[in-house]
Amino acid sequence: MSESRWGLRGVPGHLQERYVNQGWWTDATLSGRVAEWLAAAPGSAVHIHSRTHDWHGTFADVDSEARRLVSLLRNEGIGPGAVVAFQLPNWREAVVAFAGLAMGGYILVPITHIYGRKEVSFILDECAAEAYISPVAYGRVDFAEIIDGHAPASLRLHLVVGGEARRPAPGGVLRMAWTELEACQPAAELPELASDDVAVLAYTSGTTSDPKGAIHDHRTLLSELEHMAAWMTPGRPNLMGSPVAHATGMLGGVLGPLYIASDIHLTDRWDPGHALEVMLACDIGGGVGASIFLTSLLDHPDFTQEHTVKMARVGLGGAPVPAAVGQRAEALGIKIIRAYGSTEHPSITGSRYEDPAETRHNTDGRPRPGVEMRIVDEDGTDLPAGTPGEIVSRGPELCLGYTNPDLNVAFDDDGWYHTGDIGVLDEHGCLTITDRVKDIIIRGGENLSAAEIEEVIAKVPGVAEVAVVAAPDERLGEHACAVVRLLPDADPIDLPALIPHLEQVGLARQKWPEELRLVDDYPRTASGKIRKVDLRSLLREGAL
């Protein structure tokens, strides 16, 4: 690896040889491929469907503005290999930033636009970002305030969409308006990179209280793109509601369409009524990604048979998909497929549209081409079909470790990634997720760290102990439920009483618990540890 500042895990030599021989790993780079794709289909369209930032252009428009971004960064002394973070809703600038940073040879750090001060400050500091691209503010988050009060020492430039003219910000950071790109000439020469250079640091919430950064190089990203493209139909684009800064939006909403020269359709706020209007006006599909994107359309009073025709095939993943969702869609004439993966290993398994409905609705399919997967017990011994155990996987798109090397214990010396998820294989080799060892909640495709939420609630006066677990949610797949044990003399608390504490620490709004249960005690192990698997089971059964 040419980039070693994060202490990347080693990929066993026999796996590297296999991935090269099978054509997964080549000398191609994300930088070169993005430039090729934009140049090869200059007339392909890019549509941002927004109530406030509507924009319609072409690949050629994106290419020109992206190259201006490269020039602006170079003019400020920020060259190839520098870490640049961007945190933007699905606006034109997000697509331009992704393309420009990729072509310019920068290490991209996409940050979902709903992250607040706590998460953003941590990410910018840990990755040592030299530049940060964001709005001035969006929703409840004031990004300028984050930089003014919490900028890391590494940060030199804050490029602001919708902001003021250039001026110094606290800490020696230069704040500059995105509009200054207009005065820059598009960069003609792009850097030559190595395929094993780090390309993206993809931050996700996990079992730790802080976000963790999964490291991907050009080879792992392009390998994953091969999997993603296999599920896409040229000439039949979908409206994408997942953020570009999330793996689903990045791969399915931007890179995938670029790869197959398909029009890009993004929306910055998921409004089902607006989405249904766009689908008819633009003759496109919708509902892909986490199941909430599909069910919200089906639930809307404006949903018609005309929409059904445009949604003949819908791919779901990124969050638990209840079997009832597939059955409901099938009754309307919509075929769904399910997929299982993570930011670390994006496509582990997936079903096919040709599979029987029972397989597509009740399992997450078989391992993807080039991917190996096993179900193991606590000692790492393979388990037979029908026996649940931890899922371990490896493949050409598996990340190269974490920005925090202490977390690399998730990868063993043979290249296996211990997912922390519990699953079972049926007699056909199809996977079904049954539980999780890792302590996260997947709400509408977004990973929420239970430990992070617990850390905040534990400081609320009167709280003796708290366990945050995933509760079933018909729309979102899961949401966070706080199970609280109070001190003996404490007054009872309710959910609204927690809100001021969550706001004060800057916890992103989507991480706030949506249920609160008070208990006298928890189910525990012999050592006294809370058995969250039992809490989740009780919630599913309505018995907590």
Lowest mean pLDDT among 223-227, 300-304, 320-324, 525-529: 525-529
Q: Pick from 37, 128, 118: which is nearest to 78 by CA?
A: 128
Place 91 in a pLDDT band, splitting at 50, 70 and 90.
Answer: very high
What are 336-350's pLDDT values in tens digits? 999 999 899 999 999
Chain length of the chain:
544
Tell me the C-alpha distance between 319 and 446, whole Å. Answer: 8
pLDDT above 50: residue 40: yes
The whole-number pLDDT of residue 335 equals 95
Which of residues 544 and 21 earns the better pLDDT score? 21
The whole-number pLDDT of residue 1 equals 41
What are 147-165's pLDDT values in tens digits? 988 889 999 999 999 877 6
The whole-number pLDDT of residue 527 equals 47
pLDDT above 90: residue 171: no
Looking at beta carbons, which pairs linking 516-519 to residues 24 or more positions away fall under 8 Å? Answer: 516/481, 516/482, 516/484, 517/481, 517/482, 517/483, 517/484, 517/544, 518/484, 518/485, 518/486, 518/492, 518/493, 519/483, 519/484, 519/485, 519/544
Q: Pick from 471, 460, 443, 468: which is nearest to 498 by CA?
A: 460
Tell me the two tokens of residue 102: 């990729």
The percentage of the chain sitting over the pLDDT mark of 90, rounded to a whole number, equals 62
The whole-number pLDDT of residue 175 equals 93
Span 5-18, average pLDDT = 91
Span 109-131, average pLDDT = 91
What are 127-154's pLDDT values in tens digits? 999 999 999 888 888 898 889 888 899 9
pTM: 0.84
Place 188 in a pLDDT band, splitting at 50, 70 and 90.
Answer: very high
What are 270-315's pLDDT values in tens digits? 999 999 999 999 999 999 988 878 988 998 999 999 999 999 999 9
The whole-number pLDDT of residue 437 equals 66
Kindly list the structural domains of the chain, giving each domain's residue range(s) and its CATH number in brackets, ordered by start.
26-42+50-216 (3.40.50.980), 220-399+408-436 (3.40.50.12780), 440-541 (3.30.300.30)
